[in-house]
């Protein structure tokens, strides 16, 4: 390495002494003797030069090592710099700013999530309260409906009991009317017998009295059975329908059909009876058949119970 250098310098910047052996030989005295001092000086200078050369070699070696280290560092930094230039890597400042922005966004989203959860909890609580209220109202409505049904059943039972009592009263009244009718017929028969016996104050021979059997109400009579079926039909219609039944649904019943046939041909039904009796019977039948949507039926039936019994002479 020292041989390749054209000019050597000392550490202080002065050029080194480059004396050749010939110059050293020239230091010999002309008389042919060797100058010891001069030789020692040459040796000392040579030693100094060798030391300087060693020190320069060491310095150059250190510089070479430093250069190799720097080249290796540059080669190591080259991919990093190329990544920075191409955008694969980002500066730390940019990363810090982006991290700060992401942290702020995450904090904001966490706050929004907390608000959403609180709102959801409030909605769930409202739904629970509403469900509880609805269930309470439903239970109340069911209880009221059951109570109303119980009251209606109680009213129906009371009405049935009252109807049974009314039927008993009606049957009792019919029995009383039959008894009164029988007593009246008996009194009429006695009065006729007295008139036949007395006459106009003279004795009249009494002939044979036409003893006719007094008619009574028979449960086996077909008109009476039709009447009972008609009453049962009205009883079935009244609790089920809040409105009166239509007359078109009542006219096909046997009892009303019989009354209608009587009204169409009263002369055929009543025969040779007097006009007054015929008009009275027609009036009674009209009053009895005046079923205006179930109103006034029981009154007319109770008012004219004798219509139920059909005389044999008719």
Q: Which residues contact 3 (CB under 8 A, 6 or more apart)?
A: none
The answer to whether residue 164 scores a pLDDT higher than 50 is: yes
Q: What is the pLDDT of residue 41?
A: 92
Which backbone phi and psi does 8 adopt, to 5 degrees?
-100, 145
C-alpha 37, offset from chain centre: 127
Q: What is the pLDDT of residue 288?
A: 47
User: Which is nearest to 299 in space by CA: 166, 208, 119?
Assistant: 166
The answer to whether residue 143 scores a pLDDT higher than 90 is: yes
Secondary structure (3-state) at 25: helix
Q: What is the pLDDT of residue 127?
A: 92
Mean per-residue pLDDT, 272-279? 53
User: Which is nearest to 232 in space by CA: 204, 216, 258, 254?
Assistant: 254
Q: What is the pLDDT of residue 305?
A: 40
The answer to whether residue 291 scores a pLDDT higher than 50 is: no
Q: What is the pLDDT of residue 144?
A: 93
Q: How far apart are CA 253 and CA 310, in angstroms?
A: 18
- Under the banding of pLDDT at 50, 70 and 90, the label for residue 12 is very low
More reliable by pLDDT, 40 or 300: 40
Buried b (16+ CB within 10 A) or exposed e, 125-162: eeeeeeeeeeeeeeeeeeeeeeeeeeeeeeeeeeeeee
pLDDT digits (tens, 9 = 90+) for 76-94: 888 877 777 776 666 667 7
Q: What is the pLDDT of residue 272?
A: 45
Q: What is the pLDDT of residue 286?
A: 54
pLDDT digits (tens, 9 = 90+) for 231-258: 777 777 666 666 666 667 767 777 777 7
Q: Which residues contact 106 (CB under 8 A, 6 or more apart)?
A: none
Q: How far apart are CA 274 and CA 314, in angstroms?
A: 12
Greatest alpha-carbon span in the chain: 240
pLDDT digits (tens, 9 = 90+) for 199-234: 655 544 555 445 555 555 455 667 777 777 777 777
- Under the banding of pLDDT at 50, 70 and 90, the label for residue 192 is confident
What residues are paired with 295 via a beta bridge? 292
Mean per-residue pLDDT, 280-285? 55
DSSP 290: -
More reliable by pLDDT, 37 or 95: 37
Rg of the Cα atoms in the chain? 74
Q: What is the pLDDT of residue 292?
A: 39
Mean per-residue pLDDT, 27-46? 73
Mean per-residue pLDDT, 124-147? 92
Q: What is the pLDDT of residue 242?
A: 65
More reliable by pLDDT, 85 or 189: 189
């Amino acid at each position: 390495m020292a041989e390749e250098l054209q000019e050597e310098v000392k550490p202080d910047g002065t050029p080194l002494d480059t004396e050749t052996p010939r110059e050293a030989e020239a230091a010999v005295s002309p008389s042919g003797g060797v100058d010891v001092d001069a030789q020692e000086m040459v040796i000392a200078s040579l030693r100094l030069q060798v030391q300087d050369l060693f020190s320069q070699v060491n310095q150059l070696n250190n510089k070479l090592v430093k250069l190799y280290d720097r080249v290796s560092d540059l080669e190591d930094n080259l991919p990093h710099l190329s990544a920075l230039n191409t955008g694969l890597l980002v500066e730390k400042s940019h990363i810090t700013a982006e991290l700060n922005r992401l942290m702020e966004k995450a904090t904001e989203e966490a706050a929004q999530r907390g608000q959403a959860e609180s709102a959801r909890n409030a909605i769930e609580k409202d739904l629970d309260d509403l469900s509880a209220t609805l269930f309470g109202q439903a239970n109340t409505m069911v209880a009221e409906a059951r109570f109303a049904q119980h009251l209606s059943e109680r009213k129906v039972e009371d009405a049935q009991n009252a109807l049974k009592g009314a039927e008993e009263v009606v049957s009792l009244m019919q029995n009383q009317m039959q008894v009164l009718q029988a007593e009246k017929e008996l009194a009429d028969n006695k009065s006729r017998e007295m008139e036949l016996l007395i006459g106009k104050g003279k004795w009249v021979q009494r002939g044979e009295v036409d003893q006719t059997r007094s008619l009574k109400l028979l449960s086996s009579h077909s008109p009476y059975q039709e009447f009972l079926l008609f009453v049962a039909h009205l009883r079935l219609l009244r609790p089920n329908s809040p409105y009166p039944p239509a007359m078109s649904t009542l006219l096909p019943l046997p009892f009303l059909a019989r009354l209608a046939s009587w009204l169409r041909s009263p002369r055929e039904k009543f025969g040779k009876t007097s006009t007054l009796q015929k008009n009275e019977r027609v009036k009674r039948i009209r009053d009895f058949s005046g079923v205006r949507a179930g109103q006034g039926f029981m009154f007319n039936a109770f008012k004219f119970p004798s219509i139920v019994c059909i005389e044999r002479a008719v």
